[in-house]
Amino acid sequence: MTSSPRRVPIPKNGVDYRGKVVLAPMVRSGELPSRLLALKYGADLVWGPETIDKSMIGTSKRINPVTSTIDYSRVSSNGGRNPSVPLKESNIYRLHPAQEYGRLIFQIGTSSPTTAVEAASLVAPHVAGIDVNAGCPMPFSTSGGMGAALLQTPDHLASILSALVSEVGSVYDIGISVKIRLLETPEMTEALVRKLCGTGITGLTVHCRTTPMRPRERAIRDQLRMIADVCRHEGVACVMNGDVRNRDEAQQLMQEFRVDGAMLATAAEANPSSFRTMEEGGLLPWREVVQDYMKIALDVDNKWGNTKFTLGQLIPGKLQVYRKVTRCKGYTEACEALDLNDLLDQARAVDERLSISQIPEVAAVSNAKSKNKTAQAAGGRTGVERSSTSETRPALSERGVGRSTATAALAL
């Protein structure tokens, strides 16, 4: 009699990554409105953006009565320099307990078992899992011993996971997982995966690139079957990440490489309706996606700066409306530029709550700036030219992301 494959038990408040097509953790593109939109279009799970453990420790948690969200915030580190200016709170993490229930994975940036446990415990009652970022190659992460730097210290990474499993996962009945990159050789990758799977984690995601590689370089899938086999033997769900363009392709790749799940990253950043199957209609027109996104962003009082960034990814960069939106200073102006007249009243209310002023700069202020030598040295014409350049840069949709499979294949 053939025995069934071993599986690490999924805690009662956790979620099994098997059979799931999910939103990858992305800085700026993984904030609450983007996650809710991905779920609306069919994402099975969503990862929040990497949040550093030390930034969570010391935050205040409150239920926002206007947005029905749970907000973790702290007084800005820049506050207090001018006693006459009221201290402002910075929102560190925001989640929607109703709409994200059972589908949100909190990704943590950490280099310490102690601070990882302390930070994860704050959010654990409201998420379906905690995921450790062991793949970010950016200096802000690796310089602190986090992200991809952890791949060079596998015993230390394993100790972080073990601590989270025993002191957070077991306490709150949620799963602990890790996201890694490929190492220099298949043998090194295999040894790492075996070690991490032995810590009690329920899931492992592999970004099919090495640490030095950047997104423009094609993902490497040569080691994927081996990694999936190791995870399967250890009873851990294996999720692939890298150059997955839509749900249909994700399901094909899952079958081809025998992995349990797949992550969408840049494709979802450009057009989150990539989570829809072709049978469901495939990609939606950008205007429909933008309208859905703006409604959600307004519903949760999203920071305008993040909303503006996201609109820059969703709107084709060659269009006149793209340039209009990049000049907008708040929600009201953006809704007017996008002809979203039915959202104008809500936009004005949100602008007021967020203290967004869209009053044109008065002549006195403009004149003072023109005579400010320090400001000119820091920015001057260079700042203007840089702003002009950024307004006309191609959006993701202009760079082969979020298009149909046939078109995108030609661009790769």
Give the burial class of 356: count Cβ atoms within 10 A of its Cβ; 0-12 exposed, 13-18 middle, 19 or more buried.
Answer: middle
Strands 60-63 and 70-75 turn out to be antiparallel
Structure tokens at 108: 């943590």
Q: Residue 88: CA atoms inside 13 Å, Cβ hemisphere, count?
A: 9
DSSP three-state, residue 126: helix
CB atoms within 10 A of CB 125: 13
8-state DSSP, 246: S
CB atoms within 10 A of CB 371: 8
Cα gap 372→258, rounded to integer Å = 62
Is 238 in the active site?
no
**C-alpha–C-alpha distance, residues 396 and 412, integer Å:** 13
Which residues make beta-bridge pairs with 263?
Answer: 22, 241
Enumerate the β-bridge partners of residue 176.
130
Please identify which of the residues 136, 197, 231, 328 carries the catalytic annotation.
136
207 strand-pairing partners: 181, 241
Query: Using an 8 Å Cβ cutoff, are 224 and 180 in contact?
Result: no
Which positions ≥6 away from 210 have C-beta within 8 Å?
A: 181, 182, 183, 184, 220
- The residues facing 108 across adjacent strands are 51, 132
Helix runs in 16-142, H state only: 32-40, 53-56, 113-123, 139-142
Residues 6+ apart with CB under 8 A from 215: 209, 265, 266
Judge whether 265 and 246 are in contact, CB under 8 Å: no
Residues sharing a CB contact under 8 Å with residue 255, sequence separation 6 or more, in sequence order = none
Q: Which residues carry out catalysis?
A: 136
